[in-house]
Amino acid sequence: MELYEQIVSIVGSKYVSDRAPELFLYSWDFMTTEPPGKPQLVVMPKDVEEVQAIVRLANRAGVPVIPYVQGTSVAGLTNPNEGGIVMDLKRMNKVLEVNEEDMYAVVEAGITQAQLKRHLDKNHPSLRFAYTWGPPGAGVLPALLNQGFLDLSLRYGSAESMINGLEVVLPTGEVVRIGSCSVSPYWFTRNPLPDLMGLFIGWQGTTGIVTKAGIKLFTKFPYQEIYCVDSMDVESGFKAQILIAKADIADDICSENWAWSKMSSGYKLPFEREEGEPELYTTVVISANTEKELEAKEEILKDICNRVGVRVYKFKEILPTLPKGHQYADAYVNFPIQISNDWDGARGGSLQWVGVYIPNSLLAEAYRRVEKIYQQHGFLMFAYNRMMDHGHSGIIRFSTCAWKKHDERGRKAVRRLMMKVAETLLELGGVIYKPPPWAARMNLKRADPYTVELMRRVKKLLDPNRVMNPGKWDL
Amino acid sequence: MFSLRRYRKILEEYNVFERCAKCGTCTYVYGSWAPACPAFNEFKFLTYSLGGKLLLAWGYLNGRLKLDQDIARVFYSCTLCGNCAYQCQITETDGTRPIKLYAITLLEAMRKELVRVGLGPMPEQKRVWDWILKEHNPYMAKHEDRSLWFPKDVVKGLPEKAEIVYFVGCTSAYIETEIIDATMRILNRLKVDYTILKDEWCCGLPLIRTGAPSQLVDEVVNHNIAAIEDAGADMIVTSCPGCYRVWKEDLADRHDFKVMHTVELVAEAIERGELTFKKPLKAKVTYHDPCDLGRHCGVFEPPRKILKSIPGVELIEMERSRENSWCCGAGGAVAFWLPEFTMNTACERIREAEETGASLLVSACPGCAMTLKNAIKEKGSRIMFRDITELILEHL
Ligand SMILES: Cc1cc2nc3c(=O)[nH]c(=O)nc-3n(C[C@H](O)[C@H](O)[C@H](O)COP(=O)(O)OP(=O)(O)OC[C@H]3O[C@@H](n4cnc5c(N)ncnc54)[C@H](O)[C@@H]3O)c2cc1C
Ligand code: SF4
Ligand code: SF4
């Protein structure tokens, strides 16, 4: 039997395709410089048993399998570099349980931010989860599995720390459970067993397919205020961010440089920094149980900003003056949001970034070094950063947009720039997150050789036939 | 009715093709995150969302994708309801939303292109084309039977020439025939100077929405325009949102007739105090916005005004209403070749109507009436369906 027929016998013909429209759509992210692949099939399983059967089949036949929810990683992580079966998990979108008391949800792997938000709002309005700024249609789990960053990452840690437990189909077809759910009926913690979570986190779908996850939920605070902190140079901006993080008063601290801010406002390139325009726009989100608590936190914030010499004001004060196309206006209050200006605002319709986890003390230097590279390459630099985990770490990402999807020369130029940026940030001490294949290789080149060897062994052990999303983390 | 080549210029100006990154927002109602796209809901693959189709169009126009039968099926598996376009938030600094403005016309232009290269429409739709050209309706009925269900007593008293033509439309003429009776009697009550065409043909909707070449569309359109001119009318009234949109939007540059839906006429009469409802209706009522009337032509308020004017009516909105309304499932001529898709989509609407606790579901469209009534039967639902024209007449 042909592979197609075999897969049809597992999921039914409605949910398998080897037809041109699906093969085209699932070949590429339609956003980045990462090259498209050539999938053989696209399949949409409905449950863990179907995932298992497909993976067993693929493993026997040596055919790659690429887990997929919306393909919006901004790193081409679902482009099928070596062909194979793209497994779109969006039919597995159920919320299996919400435990209000213990504040967690058990969800299937294909659930999107929009779907989980809707479920919680309708059934558990006092609870929320932590969001990426990714599209509403993006999966909840991909960001967690790939160490993304969330609107609550300053307070509660980077995205993977939201995971209490996982159910995973191994590349050889067995199903494993990780965390308390492997012992107990409750998906309430990943402790206190040896933490096997790391076998599946940060691996870009190369060590197995997660089918369920227990994820943390949080109570919504009754008081919240969003503040803008504008600084004329990034040095003072980052300094203020670090002090605010250390004061432990905020849920979120993130920033855009002036160019990113213009892009998210919907401006069309070319644009320049105007006279008197701040270089860095920082957003600080503060929540509280009482008005008094909010006032006290605001006082601390203002004090820090005064000391550093940066301007602070409430976001709502400038809301009416924002351009109509500004898409952040709704953020924080109404996650998730479609911040499409981030990929099309400058009218290119394309986007790629290099982002690193970085010690916050290096943020300003990273900014200045990368700025020079952008100037040398003749591109405008879009920069964004976020404080993570009470200020213990941070991320900064540098992006480029405004080349058209079909513009091969533009694509190549951006690619060269991105590689140079990645190199510079690694040199400085950063580590590239959600790296596309070339950046993953750069990470590995600098990594301790025994670390790489251990990774290789782990990968070999879990995926002996190298079927899981090959081309990513190519060990 | 733009061709893709003509349309390309506008699309490129706003960079519509480049700006979609298949983010998926268009498959949800923005903010409440209820499902918005019937095609995506039914067929699941990304391909069926608006984003999927925009990128297929982009691939074709940039020489990365050859059109084939499967791509054609994707474009014809869409109700053209337009909900997706409303949800995409891509916005210019001045507030212009290019996807909202142009995406649906692009989907239609792609159908036209598929016809041009010999891949469209779907065979079942082609049979409909042939029948329209032969018998002037899409329902495989005889043209000579078109007026069989018209209320004879009313028709008898109609003048040869009048200011207004009541354009009946095929669905009312052959299937939802009560709507004709109701509409005519309402027009009588309003004392307007109207008539019907001696020889009305299909408005051309099934041809236009499936990308038929202009000469085929012209054949029916020219006939109808001449017939209306013969009747001496300068205004068209219809109870069918499909015909309404065709006359008001698609054919806007082909005639100078004023075009109104019955609900607009009635709502205006209520406003002027010329029409009041005497008989109360003690019921919870919910209203389904037909896509062609609501989203595509912006008529949201008149039917609500009418319903609220009937004493005793408690109007309860469905979760997805007005701009966010869930399609009945019959749009884009999909019902001719994907009846199961239409039925599933309609059943979802009935579920949503039931959720309001209403005992009566009302709409203002013979197409929606046909589809939603079938779904009520299929589901064994206890909710009742009435077209708004019937309700108006009963409660005057
Ligand atoms: C405008 C914009 C803003 C963004 N902002 C943020 C942000 O603030 N924070 C952030 O972290 N990210 C951000 N992102 C990127 C982010 O990664 C994605 O939006 C989102 O998390 C990816 O979801 P997806 O469903 O598209 O994942 P996909 O692209 O489908 O998958 C991503 C990776 O996860 C793997 N994968 C998916 N599901 C599974 C599974 N069940 N088991 C194993 N592997 C799996 C895939 O194989 C792939 O390697 C942003 C993206 C955009 C476009
Ligand atoms: S049409 Fe808009 S909402 Fe839909 S995928 Fe494209 S960008 Fe996203
Ligand atoms: S027009 Fe309707 S069915 Fe077609 S893609 Fe848009 S929302 Fe889906």
pLDDT at A347: 66
- A90 vs A95: CA distance, rounded Å: 13
DSSP one-letter string for A163-230: EEEEEEE-TTS-EEEEEGGGTSS----S-SS--GGGGTSSSTTSS-EEEEEEEE-EEPPSEEEEEEEE
Q: List, in order, residues 6 or more apart from B213 with CB less than 8 Å away.
A: B112, B115, B116
**B24 Cα: distance to centroid of ligand 2 (angstroms):** 6
Closest CA to B285 of B396, B175, B395, B171: B395
Report whether residue B342 contacts ligand 3, using a CB cutoff of 6 Å. Answer: no
A329-353 pLDDT per residue, tens: 676 678 998 887 777 756 667 889 9
Please give the domain boundaries of chain B with CATH numbers for all domains: 4-116 (1.10.1060), 143-268 (3.40.50), 277-394 (3.40.50.1860)
Answer yes or no: is pLDDT of A225 > 80: yes
Cβ separation A340–B19 shorter than 8 A: yes
* Fold designation for A95-219: 3.30.465
Three-state SS string over B83-100 comes to HHHHHCCCCCCCCCCHHH
Q: Is A396 in the pocket of ligand 1 (CB under 6 A)?
A: no
Q: Check: pTM over 0.90? Answer yes or no.
A: yes
- DSSP string computed for A361-414: GGHHHHHHHHHHHHHHHT---EEEEEEEGGGTEEEEEEEEE---TT-HHHHHHH
With contact defined as beta carbons under 8 Å apart, do B172 and B240 qualify?
A: yes
Q: How far apart are alpha carbons B28 and A117 in whole angstroms?
A: 12
Tell me whether the CATH fold assigned to A95-219 matches the one assigned to A222-345.
no
Which residue in chain B has the smallest CA separation from A265? B93
By C-alpha distance, the chain B residue nearest A73 is: B23
CATH class of A222-345: alpha beta
Kindly report, residue by residue over B19-45, the tens digit of the pLDDT: 888 999 999 999 999 999 999 999 999
- Residues from B contacting A (CB-CB < 8 Å) are 15, 17-25, 27-28, 30-34, 43-47, 52, 55-56, 58-59, 62, 64-66, 68, 70-71, 74, 88-95
Q: Which residues of chain B have pLDDT under 70?
A: 1-2
> For B29, which residue in chain A has the nearest alpha carbon?
A114
Residue-by-residue DSSP string for B155-205: HHT--SS-SEEEE--HHHHHT-THHHHHHHHHHHHTT--EE--TT----SH
Task: Give the domain A348-433 fold.
Answer: Alpha-Beta Plaits (3.30.70)
Mutation test residue for ligand 1: of A81, A132, A149, A160, the one with most atoms within 8 Å of CB: A132
CB A82 within 8 A of CB A64: yes
Q: B94, A338: Cβ pair inside 8 Å?
A: no
Structure tokens at B143: 């043209």
Domain regions of chain A by residue span: 95-219, 222-345, 348-433
B384-387 and A218-219: which strand pairing?
Answer: unpaired
Question: What DSSP character marks residue B249?
Answer: I
Residue B91: per-residue pLDDT: 83
pLDDT of res. A71: 97
Rounded average pLDDT over A470-475: 93
Q: How far apart are CA A432 and CA A397, in angstroms?
A: 9
A19: closest CA of chain B, how far (Å):
6
Contact (Cβ atoms closer than 8 angstroms) between residue B102 and residue B50: no
Chain A residues 122-181 within an 8 A CB cutoff of chain B: 135-138
Q: Which of A195-204, A310-319, A428-437 has the lowest mean pLDDT?
A: A310-319
Confidence of residue A266 (pLDDT cuts 50, 70, 90): confident
Supply the pLDDT for residue A346: 60
pLDDT digits (tens, 9 = 90+) for A156-207: 999 999 999 999 999 999 999 999 999 999 999 999 999 999 999 999 999 9
> Does residue A73 sit at the B interface (CB-CB below 8 Å)?
no
Contacts of B25 in chain A (CB under 8 A): 114, 135-137, 338, 340
Taking a contact as any Cβ pair under 8 Å apart, which residues of chain A between 323 and 342 contact chain B?
Answer: 323-325, 327, 334, 337-338, 340-341
Give residues with Cβ within 8 angstroms of B102, minimum separation 6.
B7, B10, B11, B14, B16
Please name which ligand lies nearest the alpha carbon of B104: 3
Looking at residue B395, what is its pLDDT?
97
E runs forming strands in A18-69: 41-43, 65-68
- Element (DSSP H or E) covering residue B259: strand B258-261
